[in-house]
């Protein structure tokens, strides 16, 4: 049996791609991962109208989507039942990432986690029955607006900034 870690990983200098209308499930790490160790990394790309479920594992952590890079948009996705986070905005150089209009539920950990990122926008998402926190903000200049939260963890939107 072949084991896959992430469905697809986008690295440095990957630009202007579209991931649309897929069901991505059962991977040991993230369903989709935009990796960037330096800016700009993956840029000017869109992830929309997908389903991310049951991704991640104890060995790798992982979750639905991990996005870094510059000017990337993640919207209108269904994200549920992943091992840790539904959506993570992270990696060095993550800048101007927009996460909007997603439905995120049944995450044992964070619905959305904003890590080492700048000027992220988290808006119009629906969170239901998630674990620890809805949006963990460890980034700089993150804006969170018009998110709908129900039956979820106790901490919403905390961070050092």
For 7, residues 6+ apart whose C-beta sits below 8 A from its C-beta are 22, 24, 27, 31, 32
- What is the per-residue pLDDT for 90? 87
- What is the per-residue pLDDT for 112? 92
- What is the per-residue pLDDT for 13? 75
- What is the per-residue pLDDT for 136? 74
Show me where the domains of the chain are located.
Answer: 8-150
- What is the per-residue pLDDT for 135? 73
- What is the per-residue pLDDT for 139? 85
H or E stretch at 136: strand 135-137
Give the global pTM: 0.88
Q: Which residues of the chain have pLDDT under 50?
A: 1-4, 160-161
SS3 call for 127: strand
**Residues 56-94 as b or e (16 or more Cβ within 10 Å = b):** bbeebbbbbbbbbbbebbbbbbbbbbbbbbbbbbbbebb
């Amino acid at each position: 049996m072949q084991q896959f870690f992430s469905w697809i990983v986008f690295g440095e200098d990957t630009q202007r791609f579209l991931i649309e209308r897929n069901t991505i499930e059962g991977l040991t790490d993230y369903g989709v991962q935009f990796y960037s160790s330096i800016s700009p990394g993956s840029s000017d790309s869109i992830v929309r109208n997908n389903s991310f479920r049951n991704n991640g594992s104890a060995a790798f952590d992982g979750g639905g989507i991990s996005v870094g890079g510059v000017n990337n948009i993640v919207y209108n996705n269904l994200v549920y039942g992943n091992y840790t986070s539904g959506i993570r905005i992270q990696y060095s150089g993550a800048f101007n990432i927009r996460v909007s209009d997603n439905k995120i539920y049944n995450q044992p950990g964070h619905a959305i986690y904003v890590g080492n990122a700048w000027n992220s926008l988290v808006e119009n998402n629906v969170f239901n029955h998630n674990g620890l926190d809805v949006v963990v903000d460890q980034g700089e200049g993150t804006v969170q607006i018009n998110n709908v939260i129900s039956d979820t963890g106790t901490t919403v939107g905390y961070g050092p900034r």
